[in-house]
Amino acid sequence: MKRRTLIQAGIATLSIAGTRTWAQQNYPSRVIRLINPFPAGGTADVVGRKVAEMLTVRLGQPVIVENKAGANGAIGTAEVARAPADGYTLGIAIADSVISVASLVKKPGYDVRKDLTPLFQVMEGQMVLFANRQLGVKSLRELFQAARANPGKITFGSWGTGTAVHQIMVILERSAGVSFLHVPYKGAAPAFQDIVGNNINITAGPPALVAQYVQKGYAQPLAVQGAARSGLLPDVPTYKEQGVDAPLLQTTPWIGLVAPKGLPVEVQMRLVSALNDVCRTPDYEKFLNTSIGGARPTLKEPAPFARDIAVEFAMTNDLLRSMGVEPQ
């Protein structure tokens, strides 16, 4: 009896293992959910829907974007982390949802380094620091001079405490030994509205938006984040060119795809191959140029993507802790 039971158990185990192997080799065989942890209509949503559309063609199964916004991206990303690691639930990730969130949100429910598999970075953008024209500064040097003459009076608008613009301005304060007045908003749009209305002096935004503001006479660009200048604003120098050589200012805004930890190798390879193909197409590059001005495909596969996240995670959260930012 024992021998028969052992044989039956062995057959069952082999059957389960065989079924699992078959499922992985025949992936995908049903709809894939791509969770966007931010509101519909934002950059992550627009890029995610384009990638989903192109993945649908390459994978032969529908890839459907679901918006699960809230808590700085933590609500949707936590759902990805909790999902089965079978390739049928993926997530859109940006620095806010997988890096800053560790310091900005109490108990986000995941740690990108332990609970998620970085799959592929699909886009790299840029961020331009700019002032309203009435401030009368045209460079970081002039901004620092104005700040020294008016300590704590020049205002900057961020998209919330601890978010990217807040981090940038704290780095500048420490670099130049000056102080600015922080005005936190709930998102980027109200900050942009108030700089156009001359209610704040400084903020940052994507090159395409800043270029529009320059043409309309609203804005004066001051510095570009990253290692290179923007093709849309070629006369605007980087922070490093202006003497601010902070490693975090060499990073750039990005969008990538993540999956739950423990994704089978066969499934990961299938997804990475399809994403690589998407990001190499002229159609996708044209889409980023026209819809997300100043952005480009990055073709960053799992290993380098994970390394970059780890480095940026350490730098960003060290800065946020030193700023005394309290998780909400």
Q: β-pairing, 181-184 with 32-36? A: unpaired
CA angle 96, 246, 230 (to 5 degrees): 75
pLDDT for 263-289, tens place per residue? 999 999 999 999 999 999 999 999 998
β-pair partners for 34: 65, 90
Q: Name the β-bridge partners of 64.
A: 33
Q: Residue 216: what pLDDT? A: 96
Q: Which residues contact 303 (CB under 8 A, 6 or more apart)?
A: none
Beta strands 128-132; 202-205: pairing state? antiparallel
Give DSSP secondary structure letters for 252-306: --EEEEEEETT--HHHHHHHHHHHHHHHTSHHHHHHHHHHSTT-B---B-HHHHH
Using CA atoms, how far residue 36 sits from 168, 208, 303, in Å, is: 25, 23, 22
Q: What integer pLDDT is reported at residue 290 of this predicted model?
A: 86
Domain-by-domain residue ranges, the chain? 30-124+253-322, 128-250
What pLDDT is recorded for position 14? 53
Please check the confidence at residue 22 and state whether its pLDDT lies above 50: no
Position 292 scores a pLDDT of 86
Summarize the confidence of residues 181-191 as an average pLDDT. 92
First vs last C-alpha separation in the chain:
60
Q: Do 30-124+253-322 and 128-250 show the same overall fold? A: yes
Q: What is the average pLDDT score of the chain?
A: 92
Q: For domain 128-250, is the CATH number 3.40.50.720? A: no
Mean pLDDT across 171-191:
95
pTM of the model: 0.87
For residue 53, give both structure tokens: 């559309």
| Residue 10 pLDDT grade (very low, low, confident, very high; cuts 50, 70, 90) | low
Give the pLDDT confidence score for residue 17 in this predicted structure: 47
CATH for 30-124+253-322 is: 3.40.190.150
Length of the chain: 328
